[in-house]
Chain A
Amino acid sequence: MKNGPDHRTKNVLVEFLFRLGDDRLILGHRLSEWCGHAPILEEDIALANIALDLLGQASALLRLAGEIEGKNRAEDDLAYFREATQFTNLQLVEQPNGDFAFTIARLFFFSAFNNLLSERLQKSSIEALAGIAAKGFKESSYHLRHSKEWMLRLGNGTEESHQRMQIAVNELWRFTGEMLAFDEVEEKLQQQNVIPDLNPIAPKWNEIVAAVLTEATIIIPSHQKDGGQAGNHAVSGSRNGFHSEHLGHLLAEMQILARSYPDAKW
């Protein structure tokens, strides 16, 4: 491939695309579990639509990863025939849905991240990635606004909705650290000018989240008296295949049909 990435950059790029694809695949799957269970019909449809956007993004990203990898693996092979330790999604997205506040707070945290990341990846030197990111940027703008409105509604709602939102934010906080921490994979791609600098994302994310939490009268965990108790147990390692026990259960359900009937068409 003329002017394409060299062999080592190629491997790192595939790893980066797996991270992007797996985050969206797993969160899309979690959101789809709400189908038929959301508090009101409009929200049921909204969560299913957002899940579909994320699955679409995942499908395009994993397809691209498979093409660059060159091992004849299509997006379905990558989604259905990898083991939990081969997935590099964030632990944030694999956590069970919990109550509606937990689902919304997680969607808000991830959408703010996805929006900032997609905005930057539009400038990737890999044209296909830039195109997928341009689409993801527009879509995640809608996801971000939708989840933000629910953050405000629940935070400023009844005593119970406020309390549930505060608990959800506290529980989720320890999963946000590794989302904002980039490692040698992103660094290497940045050095090769494949992607732009992603380090400005963390302060911007904190700014967006702090503004919404404040408006929703939710206390930011790291500002709490105990110094953000949850933050002391911050998780890490999912980008290297270390996961909570929940991912295996999720994959068992997601993959069983494709594995039982490998060439199933529907």
Chain B
Amino acid sequence: MVTTKQHILSLLCEVHDPEIPVLDIVELGIVRDVRVHGKQIHVNITPTYSGCPAMHMIQHDIIGTLNKNGFRNVEITIVYSPAWTTDWLGASAKEKLKEYGITPPETVNEVVVTLPGSEMECPFCNSHNTELRSEFSSTACKSLYFCNDCCQPFEHFKEI
């Protein structure tokens, strides 16, 4: 059987982001390209943030998953261009984020970073009576909010 790019991509959907395990690396937009040359698989990935500490684990998991499926010859290249953007998150990925308790990102405006809306929707009770606590939360890609109605802290996946 000839290995197709599609087959490799479906295997890569088994690799999840260790920080946000509800998303796999394909729907997160981290996988930029897959090339198949006979038995050799070449995967291009891009970091969400320059210093994303999950990148090492993601590389390790990609190799592990492909090895497990019989692909021993795997090469991974980290690419920086074009720079990752939250606009690459599809509608279903955003829905998963919300169910997981993280308010998904809006579409990035022309001005790269807009002032955070003071009416971020709470993923738990859908209230807009919320306030920004910090633009930097448990990971670089999220900011921290507080819901004044259900009194829960929640995170927002920042637009970038």
Contact = CB atoms under 8 A, between A and B. Distances in A.
Nearest to B158: A142
B76 to A, nearest CB: 14
Contact of B112 (A59, A127, A138): A138
Main secondary structure of the interface of A (DSSP, over half): helix
A57 B82 CA distance: 15
B133 to A, nearest CB: 6
A128 B81 contact: yes
Given A55-B51, A57-B50, A131 B83 contact: yes
Interface footprint category on B = 20 to 34
Contacts of A52: 49, 51, 53, 140
Contacts of B75: none
Contacts of B134: 42-43, 45-46
B84 A45 contact: no
Contact of A56 (B52, B82, B158): B52
A141 B83 contact: no
Nearest to A43: B134
A187 interface: no
Interface footprint category on A = 20 to 34
B47 interface: yes
B50 A60 contact: yes
A50 B136 CA distance: 8
A127 to B, nearest CB: 6
A50 B51 CA distance: 9
Nearest to B50: A56
Given A55-B51, A56-B52, A139-B49, A131 B136 contact: no
A46 B81 CA distance: 26
A128 B144 CA distance: 32
Given A45-B137, A146-B136, A53 B50 contact: yes
Contacts of B135: 46, 142, 145-146
A110 interface: no
Interface string A140-157: 011001100000000000
B160 interface: yes
Contacts of B158: 142
B79 interface: yes
Contacts of A50: 136
A145 B135 CA distance: 10
25 contacts: A46-B134, A52-B49, A60-B50, A60-B80, A128-B80, A131-B79, A131-B80, A131-B83, A132-B50, A132-B80, A134-B82, A135-B47, A135-B80, A135-B83, A136-B50, A138-B83, A138-B113, A138-B160, A139-B49, A139-B140, A139-B160, A141-B112, A142-B136, A145-B113, A146-B135
